[in-house]
Amino acid sequence: MLGISERALGDKVGAKASLEHALQIDPENVAALIERADARAAEGDYDRAIEDLKAAEHVKPGERMILSHLLDVYQRAGKAEEAARLAQQLGLVHTNATSTTSGEIKVAGTTAEIEAANDADPAKARQALEALLQKNPRNAMLLARLGASYRTDDPARSLEFYRPANEIDPRNADYATGYAAALVQSRRFAEAVSILTRGTATDPGNYISHGNLAIALYELKRFDEALPEYRWLLATKPDLIVTYYFIATAHDKMGEFENALAAYEIFLARADAKVNELEIEKVKLRLPALRRQIKLGQGVKRKQ
């Protein structure tokens, strides 16, 4: 959660450290693997980005959102054969196919156009995908492919494609998650909340959706709504210690000082001195005043 927040705010160094620490604690944390893969791909480190995405897919086999990220990295890395195989797996097929497998999506276009859409050069692939979109204007999968392609280097452009994909198929958790991630990255938190609320209702176990929803609600200062999301994250990943910091600060900002103190103390007891150095210093500066406020009976009554 901290790494995703730091990356959204442009703190690449902090994000890298947080994600590395998260994966030291839990090497199979899908959200951290995807976020680190995106960061590595943005830096041109395609091989290690692919490793991360394959590791994520091993944890959640067949997860379309992970495979869409992997397809984008294959294209950017110039791995044409791998990209073509994965595109076929994801359902980017010629419309003249005589039969389709369950869940396969037909696309109107020539063989050459389909091949161009899977070109190893991202610029060529995007151009071909946009051309196919002219023939298939209501194809949510094509829109989402373009949204995923642009999300890292041009979030505003990514939104232009994810928005209609989500409108066409609002129950598709992959489209909702991608759209919301681009909104959070663009700091359009209010819009992200609307999408993520639907996404978590459709796919209650989607960790990335819950994580982005917690960030968006927190940034909007809707702390009473953010708290249940952070508690869900903590219940799902008990070792995600930084969650206690967000829970504590949310209680603190709402004047629930006793709840805040309890969460701050748990955070200090479990936090990593290097990774969470900044947050630890903030908490230590806050605690003396917080304890005085509690002693004076200030704030609202502690909640269970």
List the pLDDT tens digit at each of the 304 positions of the chain.
Answer: 888 777 777 788 888 899 999 999 999 998 899 889 988 887 888 899 999 999 998 888 888 778 878 887 887 777 777 877 777 776 654 443 322 233 445 677 777 777 777 776 777 888 888 888 888 888 888 888 888 888 777 888 888 888 888 788 877 777 878 888 888 888 899 988 988 887 787 778 888 889 999 999 999 999 999 999 999 998 888 888 899 999 999 999 999 999 999 999 999 999 888 888 899 999 999 999 999 999 999 887 655 5
- What's the per-residue H, E or C state across 108-177? CCCHHHHHHHCCCCHHHHHHHHHHHHHHCCCCHHHHHHHHHHHCCCCHHHHHHHHHHHHHHCCCCHHHHH
Question: Residue 64 CA to chain centroid, in angstroms?
Answer: 14
Other C-beta atoms lying within 10 Å of the C-beta of residue 80? 16
Domain ranges of the chain: 241-304
Instruction: Say if CB 114 and CB 141 are below 8 A apart.
Output: no
- The pLDDT value recorded for residue 246 is 95
**Tens digits of residue pLDDT in 18-73:** 999 999 999 999 889 988 998 888 788 889 999 999 999 888 888 877 887 888 78
Interacting residues of 105 by C-beta distance below 8 A, sequence separation 6+: 91, 92, 93, 139, 141
Q: How many CA atoms lie within 13 A of 84 on its CB side?
A: 13
Structure tokens at 39: 């960061």
Other C-beta atoms lying within 10 Å of the C-beta of residue 9? 13
| Beta-strand pair 106-107/93-94 | parallel
Structure tokens at 219: 């940034």
- Nearest Cα to Cα of residue 182 among 160, 211, 159: 159
**Tens digits of residue pLDDT in 279-302:** 999 999 999 999 999 999 988 765
Structure tokens at 6: 């730091």
- Nearest Cα to Cα of residue 104 among 147, 74, 149, 64: 64
